[in-house]
Amino acid sequence: MHQTFDAALGINLLHANQEGADHNRAHFDQWGITCFNVMSSPGAGKTALLEKTLAALSPEIKMAVIEGDMTTELDADRLRQYGVPVIAINTGRSCHLDAKMVAGGIHRLAHDYTPSEFDLVLVENVGNLVCPAEFEVGEHVKVALLSVTEGEDKPLKYPIMFQEADCLLITKTDLAPYVEADMEQIAANVRQMNPDVTIIPVSAKTGEGLELWFEWVRSHIRVQLFTNSTQPRQPQPAA
Ligand SMILES: Nc1nc2c(ncn2[C@@H]2O[C@H](COP(=O)(O)OP(=O)(O)OP(=O)(O)O)[C@@H](O)[C@H]2O)c(=O)[nH]1
Ligand SMILES: [Mg+2]
Ligand SMILES: [Zn+2]
Ligand SMILES: [Zn+2]
């Protein structure tokens, strides 16, 4: 976790970030877009999951990706092969995406495309089990991944992301026998942090669980559309 108060500048960094997140959220709501913030430690399988998601749900769901990495466009290039807009954001020395960086991404999306034509923006956050959960980017939904190779104790040791998640994917289930992962214990530890979270075990390699994930995605876009159409928000002035 970062220092959240900058004494020199006298500002609360999380508070400033929240204003940026509200700005992004207003854009998404104006355009009727649902935004998922996809988070995990490095290598848990975010890009692999997004590859499967784009392959299965496009063009049924019109998607764009905002891809956060400290350096390189390696993940962005993997996802561009699926024919959807992928906006790469290099965070430099920052180990998470913040709202301002994502604002740059969504302004670019709005510049290059007609944003109201999109249903879902998938933000792949920087691989990091701690800070991405603290820096909202304007998402409606937080999706966290925990791979079976990371150890059953991680939800207890790094609680914030697990407490905040709306959906928790236990990834790489095909590897569970090799690392003697105790799936029941992983799920119990996640539930201890967040009793109501949806838990979906998946393998991007074998396809196990992916249909459940796709259905969860579909239903959460519908919920958002329904919420927007019945309770229109007052859009904030957007730059
Ligand atoms: N066996 C197996 N390997 C997987 C699975 N999903 C991803 N991997 C592998 O795990 C490694 C990391 O996967 P990525 O999808 O790049 O992980 P990531 O979370 O996007 O990584 P960062 O963006 O660097 O944080 C790659 O070698 C993948 O092929 C899975 O379901 N099973
Ligand atoms: Mg990745
Ligand atoms: Zn960070
Ligand atoms: Zn704006």
The pLDDT of residue 131: 94
Q: Is 24 in the pocket of ligand 1 (CB under 6 A)?
A: no
Q: Measured on CA atoms in the order 202, 207, 209, 214, is the torsion positive or negative?
A: positive
Ligand found nearest the CA of 28 = 4
Q: Which has the closest alpha carbon to 172: 29, 65, 41?
A: 41
Judge if the upstream peptide bond of residue 59 is cis by omega within 30 degrees of 0: yes
The pLDDT of residue 13: 85
User: By alpha-carbon position, which residue is closest to atom 13 of ligand 1?
Assistant: 45
For every one of its 239 residues, what pLDDT tens digit does the chain have, with 9 covering 90 and above?
Answer: 576 766 666 568 889 999 999 999 999 999 999 999 999 999 999 999 999 999 999 999 999 999 999 999 999 999 999 999 999 999 999 999 999 999 999 999 999 999 999 999 999 999 999 999 999 999 999 999 999 999 999 999 999 999 999 999 999 999 999 999 999 999 999 999 999 999 999 999 999 999 999 999 999 996 666 665 544 444 445 55
Residues 70 and 95: beta-carbon distance below 8 Å: yes
Cα of 81 to ligand 3 centre, how many Å? 29
The pLDDT of residue 230: 44
The pLDDT of residue 12: 81
Q: Is 151 in the pocket of ligand 1 (CB under 6 A)?
A: no
Q: Kindly report the CATH number that applies to the domain delimited by 5-230.
A: 3.40.50.300
Q: Which of 39, 46, 123, 131 to probe ligand 1 with, by most ligand atoms within 8 A of CB?
A: 46
Q: Name the residue ranges covered by the structural domains of the chain.
A: 5-230
Q: What is the pTM of this model?
A: 0.92
Ligand found nearest the CA of 237 = 4
